[in-house]
Structure 1
Amino acid sequence: MIIRCALILRIAAEDAGLPVRDLVADKRDEPTALARHRAFYLARTLRADLSLPQIGRHMGGRDHTTVLHGVRRIAERVVNDTDGEARRMERLRARLVLAASMDVPTNDLVSALDAAIEAAEFRLAAVREARAKIAEGF
């Protein structure tokens, strides 16, 4: 399964409440730049087959040094868990994997993915509870 850069841009834009056109435009306001940097980071971590210049071309014709700056910025936020960045990136990754594997119309994508993530988190909680009971010996 290949996660396309267009899907990465769409998921990053939806997460930030922005249109994709803002992420590929020359806008430099903080929310737009942060969403764009998240898209760079996701593309770099999920698409090892793409070079920095290729990612830049897919995401509005950005220079490879701009992509590298964005990747490093988000990597630092993930390591330091600034504003819950590690959890956010895991959620975005999960959304991307689900979206790439599902055939869902664009306008239903966010709600379908949210429902799938919620169901997975519920199942995970049940598994953890069962594991704890087994560890306690019932």
Structure 2
Amino acid sequence: LEGALIRTMAYISISGLSMTVENIAPVIDPPSEQVEVTPDTVMLAVAETLNVSVDDMKGSSRRREVSSARQLGMYLVRQHTGLSLPKIGEVFGGKDHTTVLYSCDKISKQLTKNPELNRTIKQVNDRLSLSSASA
């Protein structure tokens, strides 16, 4: 339930639409022909959008561009998949579930303050839509 609310708020924030049943219906009840997004496709889309490597995102680098990409990747994997925090941590190179939780919370808080982050998320989601359509 919390995930659905977060997805809805992010969608409304990114799209700039008002919160009506018609506008949020695709988020709450996506079309059945939609291809499932995997953690690997999310990581690849984030890596391509932010010009970092997937290996860097799975690694332990603390460089700002890498850690920001990793945090965004964790947030989007959580949004797009049903994986638990520990599973997301495993996908990102064995990170602890608390690291995943911190990353998701940090991105969620930045969504309201950072329009550039909203644009980046839209770019990643657009890449995911394109890759899903070609799958």
Give TM-score, length-normalised by structure 2: 0.70
> For 2:129 and 2:90, how far apart are their aligned partners in 1?
22
Unaligned runs of at least 5 residues, structure 2: 1-34
Deviation at 1:38, TM superposition (A): 0.7
Q: What is the CA deviation profile of residues 49-81 of structure 1, one whole-angstrom value per residue up to 9, with x for unaligned ones?
A: 21111111111111110001111111111121x
Identical-pair percentage: 29
Alignment of 1:114-133 (within 5 A): none
Instruction: Name 1:18's counterpart in structure 2.
Output: 52
> For 1:46 and 1:35, how far apart are their aligned partners in 2?
16
RMSD of equivalent CA atoms = 1.3
Unaligned runs of at least 5 residues, structure 1: 104-138
> For 2:115 and 2:62, how far apart are their aligned partners in 1?
20
Give TM-score, length-normalised by structure 1: 0.68
Alignment of 1:66-81 (within 5 A): 66-80=99-113
Alignment of 1:40-59 (within 5 A): 40-47=74-81, 49-59=82-92
> For 1:88 and 1:15, how far apart are their aligned partners in 2?
8
Structure 1 ranges of 4+ moved more than 3 A: none
